[in-house]
Copies of this chain bind each other. A is one copy, B any other.
């Protein structure tokens, strides 16, 4: 997979879906790739699984978000590997190959938008589209050392994209440069939401949840953020505990996953790779009462977080509690990382908040990201702040 036709194994094997961009536009001169759950007319969307590919014809229409990038002048260079049905955070794909993490080749690239993160980290394109339900842009961005955004839920259309858990699904993107990340947002996001953000909040739970060396490595970036926004205020955002966040996220997500994909899974009974198989098995038998409790918890947390951030406050915390796990990790170790990670990614997930992750540090030779999180609709302000912070902290872009 890592031959010259497919560096880092980032792209879906087979003929490359390539499209020229418009002759002018705000993204002229930029190249991009798209996660293989977005439709490109004339090609089959595989959703990371050969049985999905076999049971779906070529797309008639190109997903509007892809079309908007093309119309803005960007050139499409190919479709990137996703984990099977986007249901995981490692980036492993048994069928099409697991992309290499260009920033730490012995570690997972992160997922599910693994190929998009690898393509950007390996400088194969200027930006790449992914999707993020429970961390599928934020985590691979953190693991591969690139910028990534999970926009406000619903701010960017997912028409023409395969679903996972619709009330959590978002269309995000990656770039190696904060300014490119922002420029893509100017094309894809609705107008508005600019203007200053502040004060800076430091939520206690995700910082305490992070590995101590991760928290320490991110301090210089936090100090840079304080130079821009003033001293950070410590706040509790998850007094119930991040483990409770994870459990409610898992139950409410699983219910939606089965509602979206259970019909197809039941009809075809496809084989799944490690981890993914367990999650679909759990989704199939998820107790409706647990899912309902998850939804109720989510509503409470969402109201609380929206209240906290409505005046313009911005939270900063480690995107992932640890750098990417090594590729030879046991399934048990990966499951432990998953639970710790989703407790954090559920914060923005529950409330539909925009989150930008910045490649702020390295720990043991592997990247880790610092996230900035704001109120729904403040995506443009957040992208501007991320660019300012990257400059202030002397980071890429």
Contacts and interface: CB of A to CB of B under 8 A. Distances in A.
Main secondary structure of the interface of A (DSSP, over half): loop
A67 B68 CA distance: 21
B377 A72 contact: no
B190 A64 contact: yes
A159 interface: yes
Given A153-B159, A154-B157, A154-B159, A65 B302 contact: no
A370 B61 CA distance: 26
A191 B72 CA distance: 7
A164 B111 CA distance: 32
A365 to B, nearest CB: 39
A41 B376 CA distance: 12
Given A67-B377, A377-B68, A377-B71, A61 B153 contact: yes
A332 to B, nearest CB: 36
A236 interface: no
Nearest to A156: B157
A155 interface: yes
Interface of A: 22, 25-26, 41, 57, 60-65, 67-68, 71-72, 152-160, 186-188, 190-193, 299, 302-303, 306, 351-352, 376-377
30 contacts: A25-B192, A26-B192, A41-B306, A57-B299, A60-B299, A60-B302, A60-B303, A61-B153, A61-B306, A61-B376, A64-B154, A64-B376, A64-B377, A65-B190, A67-B377, A68-B155, A68-B190, A68-B191, A68-B193, A71-B191, A71-B193, A71-B377, A72-B191, A72-B192, A153-B159, A154-B160, A155-B157, A157-B158, A187-B190, A187-B192
